[in-house]
Amino acid sequence: MRNRILALAALAAAIGSPLAAQAQSSVTIVRAPVVVESGPTIAVEQRPAFREYVVEQRVPAFRIPDHVVVGATLPESGVTYYDVPQRFGPTTYRYTVVNGETVLVEPRSRRIVEVLD
């Protein structure tokens, strides 16, 4: 009886293997685009007032050799980041001025999340 069960198990495994191999060869894996979770940014209608605020604060501009683009990471040293005042809306980002453009930066990674100019 036990030999019969083992034989049936071996037969099932042998028959199932090609089916499993066929199933695996027809599987297509599609990766969704990576979505970076972002916090709230400055509302469009608040941006002119925010730009004016930055000019009034006389924030010194930092220069980098590359173009200022979303996703770029700023250097660890030499850049000063400033809190965005609450009147422009709640945000976890900080701002600075790079190459004459005001940018919002994720403070831990120093990654530019938005160019406001």
Q: Kindly report, residue by residue over 4-25, the tens digit of the pLDDT.
A: 665 555 656 666 555 444 445 4
Q: How many CB atoms lie within 10 A of CB 42?
A: 20
Tell whether pTM > 0.85.
no
Q: How many CB atoms lie within 10 A of CB 79?
A: 15
pLDDT of residue 94: 95
Buried b (16+ CB within 10 A) or exposed e, 2-39: eeeeeeeeeeeeeeeeeeeeeeeeeeeeeeeeeeeeee
Residue with tokens 């701002």: 95
Residue 53 corresponds to which tokens in the numbers above? 């605020």
